[in-house]
Structure 1
Amino acid sequence: MRFKDKVVIVTGAGSGIGRATARLFAEEGAMVVAADLRGAVVETVAGQDNMLAVQMDAGAEGDVERLVATACERFGGIDVFYANAGISGGASGIFDSTAELWTEVLRVNLIGPALAIKHAGPRIVERGGGAILCTASVAGLRSGAGGPAYSASKAGVINLVQTAAQQLATSNVRVNAICPGLIETGMTVRAFEYAREVGKEDKLGRLNPLRRAGAPEEIARVALFLASDEASYVNGQAWVVDGGLSSSHPVTRQEFGKPAF
């Protein structure tokens, strides 16, 4: 019960990482406000007395303000905000991406977390401190893991948490990012379903040393650690959870026990 009597907001909680994290926070005793643009967020909180579902747009300032107000009115404050909501923006390259696509991806993926910090940060300070988490991505570290708009937005998230950690200095509010690798979420589900249909599920995640994709629960456990007092000296960091994918430059992969060439 690491989060007993704590109030937690999780955006993008209608599926994938957000749903898994919201439920895990609730299991650990938190009062959880699960937010998502889609109505599926109601399924996340089904049967849970300590969870509340809210439909909202994580990139719209008015919606973020109302979300924070709802948590404070319902539960008395906020201790943790996990800005997890995001969109992929598709697979368009730089030369065929429209300005409208870039604007929407940045609005949700980067401005959304900035709004979460802006509106939730002061409320967390009022409670004596806590944590803010943002979902970035290995795509924000270097190229090769997402489209250009998505990758740029996630690189921005990494810098955002570093900047926010500095601006919240002495407040006892820690700000960190998580950089997932390939995880089955609402954004990647089509790729996973296709791989299963054609019998190539074993190919998913094959480029990392663990040779598999990750599960939402594996990211959720990292999120809970970073939000807990166990991570009291972790601040302004981007934690990579990708099976080791980003630990190497592209090479011919060596099979365990066999020569590389």
Structure 2
Amino acid sequence: MSGAAKQRLQALSQQLVEGIPDAGTFEGIPKIRQVAQDSVGPRVKDKVVIVTGESSIPLTGHRTTRLFMHQAVSCTNERNPKSGANSPAGIGRASAHQFAHNGAKAVYLCDYDPTHLATHKREIESLYPGVDVHARQFDAADEVAVKSVVDDAIQRYGRLDIFFANAGIVGQPKVFTDISGEDFMKTLKTNTLGLVRFLLRSTDKGGHTSASKPYPSGSIICTASVAGLRSNAGSTDYSASKAAVVSIAQTCAYQLAGTGIRINAICPGLIETGMTQAVFDAARARGTQRKIGQLNPLQRGAVADEVARAALFLGSDESSYVNGQAWAVCGGLSAGHPFVPGKLA
């Protein structure tokens, strides 16, 4: 890391300043030292969370649906074309519920399309009246808008603890020879450059300290995809953008060394969200839903809450030593080589 970069990251985490405390002994042997709080209680108690995402647009058109049905059966994409906090079936919404359920002080719901945001806000407030819920419409690629939301969290609460960068688009459902350079870069701008803008605005605020947060710390969670780990799980532009998300998480983990801010990527497989809803519905109508996800060992797709549970863990102090990782939440799809169903794997 350059000297200039080190100067920007002067603040040190509590563990580097104070060390991990001695827990004493029991009958002459040392007790187990711990960094996280008790796992029995709320896992993100009093933390301030921002969840980003974009609107849900279902797949339409015979050619598009057919292409993604093939991917759903073989190696599928996890996201709706524009998915996140606003989508009724999205990962962002499910994650916001998990953060609220587990004691967050405040949750920001951020989305490009505000259609369902007010409804999601009312639902979370009715279920978890002690949580402050803020709905914000913004474009993930708009640096000014991102800065506004982050600054609002700091001004209101004096802290930002968890930033779930879940915004993205699915890209072009085409083979690479049919994708224009303009369309390719549009996908990278949202999925990759958009993430970089999140990081620029959230990492310095994650290092912000206050009376309620005397040491810098935080967790940044990025939605990547199994398409960023293996081929045949998405279009070329989408796969390239998600591979970049994984690389950014790994690189930034080192560039944030010593700050107590962790960054990890979640790589979902086939998840039933707004994008894949048409695939799931069509399969159910034909009675072929068992074919969805048949190439992963669990032989099924997932619901958004299964990804949200991974986001909750990565956002909590329970994952205090998990950093710079790409977590596949894919039912085992990315664990093996392609195989023919029914044959020995």
Same fold (TM > 0.5) = yes
Q: How is 1:53-132 mapped onto 2 (pairs within 5 angstroms)? A: 53-127=135-209, 128-132=216-220
Identify the residue that residue 138 of structure 1 maps to in structure 2. Answer: 226
Alpha-carbon distance in 2 for matches of 1:65, 1:206: 42
Question: Residue type matched to 2:86 in 1?
Answer: G
Alpha-carbon distance in 2 for matches of 1:200, 1:100: 37
Alpha-carbon distance in 1 for matches of 2:344, 2:44: 47
Correspondence for 1:46 among 99, 118, 122: 122
Identify the residue that residue 49 of structure 2 maps to in structure 1. Answer: 8
- How far did 1:41 drift? 2.3
Identify the residue that residue 200 of structure 1 maps to in structure 2. Answer: 288
- How far did 1:32 drift? 0.4
Q: How is 1:136-215 mapped onto 2 (pairs within 5 angstroms)? A: 136-215=224-303
User: Which sits farther off after the overlay, 190-199 or 6-15?
Assistant: 190-199
Give the conservation status (yes or no) of the 8 Å contact 1:45–1:52: yes
Alpha-carbon distance in 2 for matches of 1:260, 1:228: 39
Pair 1:253-2:341 in alignment:
yes
Question: Residue type matched to 1:5 in 2?
Answer: D
Identify the residue that residue 29 of structure 1 maps to in structure 2. Answer: 103
Alpha-carbon distance in 2 for matches of 1:246, 1:221: 19
Inter-CA distance 94–25: structure 2 relative to 1 (3 Å threshold): same
User: Which sits farther off after the overlay, 192-201 or 132-141?
Assistant: 192-201
Alpha-carbon distance in 1 for matches of 2:284, 2:186: 30
Identify the residue that residue 238 of structure 1 maps to in structure 2. Answer: 326
Give the conservation status (yes or no) of the 8 Å contact 1:205–1:213: yes
1:36-60: CA deviations, max 9, x gaps? 1111222222141521111111122
SS of the residue corresponding to residue 46 of structure 1 reads helix
1:140-184: CA deviations, max 9, x gaps? 012110000000000000000011101100000000000000001
Identify the residue that residue 222 of structure 1 maps to in structure 2. Answer: 310
- How far did 1:92 drift? 1.1
Alpha-carbon distance in 1 for matches of 2:145, 2:232: 33
Alpha-carbon distance in 2 for matches of 1:66, 1:198: 47
Runs of 4+ residues deviating >6 angstroms:
none
Alpha-carbon distance in 2 for matches of 1:24, 1:133: 14
Q: Which has the larger radius of gyration?
A: 2
Alpha-carbon distance in 1 for matches of 2:194, 2:281: 28
Alpha-carbon distance in 2 for matches of 1:260, 1:235: 35
Alpha-carbon distance in 1 for matches of 2:175, 2:340: 25
User: Which sits farther off after the overlay, 94-103 or 188-197?
Assistant: 188-197
Alpha-carbon distance in 2 for matches of 1:165, 1:187: 30
Question: Residue type matched to 2:179 in 1?
Answer: S
TM-score (structure 1 length as normaliser): 0.94
User: Which sits farther off after the overlay, 62-71 or 144-153?
Assistant: 62-71
TM-score (structure 2 length as normaliser): 0.72
SS of the residue corresponding to residue 271 of structure 2 reads coil
1:34-90: CA deviations, max 9, x gaps? 111111222222141521111111122122112212222333321110001111113
RMSD across aligned C-alpha pairs, in angstroms?
1.5
Question: Residue type matched to 2:44 in 1?
Answer: F
Question: Residue type matched to 1:234 in 2?
Answer: V
SS of the residue corresponding to residue 246 of structure 2 reads helix
